[in-house]
Amino acid sequence: MIKYVLQRILYMFFVFMIIMFMSFVLIRMLPLPALAPNDPHTEILEIRREALGYNKPYLEQFWIFIKGIVTKWDWGTSEKLYIGRDVWSVFMEKLPATMIVNLYSILWTIPVGIALGVWAALKKNTWVDYTISTLTMVVISVPSFVYAFIIQYLLCFKLRWFPFVMKAGTDYFSWAMFKSIIPPILALSFGVIAGFCRTTRAELTEVLTSEFMLLARTKGLTKTQATVRHALRNCFVVVVPGIFGEFIGIIGGSLIIENIFSIPGVGGLTLAAITNLDYNIFMLSTCFYTAIGLAAGLVVDISYGFIDPRIRMGSKK
């Protein structure tokens, strides 16, 4: 098992480096943005560009870039948005806002989603199941920003329950801050709830019809006992890796939701970097999103092995 995990991690790292190299070359190939002529930073930035080898071959530039990261954790300097500032520190400033919104949304959506899924599966082919399944279907189909508009208009503007955009400042755990991020949390939540509900329902209905459930009932377990001890456990083999994947995904956040509710997070930063052509921030964002995507896949893969003994045993052969 450990060998398998290590193999996967190494492979993911390899993939990550290749993607990083490709995007690095593609970004460096773009014409450099002109620096403001009379700005005091211009000279420093020019010297920095020279030191980073902007005129050398791309392979050499990449080597300098990697060396900077490994030795000094230096991801470059912002040249447009936050002139002269270290990209990494700017990025780290933005990360908490993104994470807090997503964390809150996940904390309540996963239990609710799973509970709804279980309920629908247990009441299969009744009006409960039909209602939940139809709503799930609708919610999954409609893009999250459509809910965001509805929430923003109804709750923030018409009813005035919540402020229109996220509160400024860094007091992430204050009441005022919590209140101001409820709308984006809601907007993010619908999709997650529906996703978990659908997976849980599909898995559980399948498990409930399998033969070991019949065996469990014949040996004298009540329906509740059989469901909790046998059906739910088996259905979680598929659901739990999804939870892990979702948790990795929280730091990624949603570009659109951040945009609508003016959350000062990484999504907004990435978008600003794209529109203002701040290549160093964009490079870091690229690496960040790539790493999150790969890590989520990796965690899902590995957690299957930890949760399901059948897969764990299988890998030993």
Partner 1 sequence: MEYEKIPAEKFRFVQENEKLHDTELQTKARGFFADAMIRFSKNKSSVIATWILLGLMLFSILSPIISSYSIWERDRIYLNYEPYVPSIAKKGLGFLDGARTFSNQNEASMNYWKGIAQETGLDPVIRQVNQYAYTVKERGKEVTKYSYDLEVNNYYALGILYRTLTYEEYEKIQNWQNETGIQVIFPYVEQKDINGITDKPNIWYAVDSKGAAKPDKEGNLVPVYSTRQEIAGPEYHSIRIPSDPGNYIYAYQKSGSLQCRILYYNYYIYMNGHEPSYIFGTNSGGQDIFCGIGVGARFSILFAILVSAINLTIGAFYGAVEGYYGGWVDMLLERISDILSGVPFVVVTTLFQLHLAKKVGIVPSFLFAFVLTGWIGMAALTRRQFYRFKGQEFILAARTLGASDKRLMFKHIFPNGIGSIITSCALVIPGVISSETSMTYLGIVDLSSFAGTTIGTLLSQGNAVVTTAPHAVLFPSIFLGLLMICFNLFGNGLRDAFNPTTRGIDD
The nearest distance, CB 27 to partner 1, in angstroms, is: 7
**Are 81 and 273 a contacting pair, CB within 8 Å?**
yes
Total number of residues that touch partner 1 (CB under 8 A): 40
Judged by beta carbon, residue 141 or residue 224, the one nearer partner 1 is 141
Q: Choose among 237, 250, 236, 254: nearest CA to 308.
A: 237
**Are 256 and 152 a contacting pair, CB within 8 Å?**
no
DSSP alpha helix (H) spans, the chain? 2-29, 40-51, 58-72, 87-122, 127-141, 144-151, 175-208, 211-218, 223-226, 233-249, 255-260, 266-276, 279-307, 309-316
Stretch in the footprint of partner 1 (CB under 8 A) among 13-21, 98-106, 107-115, 242-250: 13-21
**Are 75 and 280 a contacting pair, CB within 8 Å?**
yes
Residue 4 binding partner 1, by CB under 8 A: no
Per-residue binding string, partner 1, 256-275, x by CB under 8 A, is x--xx---------xx--xx
The nearest distance, CB 275 to partner 1, in angstroms, is: 7
Contacts with partner 1 in 126-165 (CB under 8 A)?
A: 137-138, 140-143, 145-146, 149-150, 152-153, 157, 164
- The only residue of 28, 35, 293, 312 in contact with partner 1, by rule CB under 8 A: 293
The nearest distance, CB 226 to partner 1, in angstroms, is: 25
Judged by beta carbon, residue 83 or residue 274, the one nearer partner 1 is 274
Contacts with partner 1 in 183-242 (CB under 8 A)?
A: none
Q: How many CA atoms lie within 13 A of 174 on its CB side?
A: 9
Contacts of 286 (CB under 8 A, 6+ apart): 20, 23, 27
Stretch in the footprint of partner 1 (CB under 8 A) among 22-30, 71-79, 81-89, 112-120: 22-30
Q: Choose among 278, 138, 261: nearest CA to 269.
A: 278
Q: Compute the distance between CA of residue 287 and CA of residue 307 in angstroms, rounded to an integer.
A: 30
Residues making contact with partner 1 (CB under 8 A): 15-16, 18-19, 22-23, 26-27, 29-30, 137-138, 140-143, 145-146, 149-150, 152-153, 157, 164, 255-256, 259-260, 270-271, 274-275, 277, 282, 285-286, 289-290, 293-294
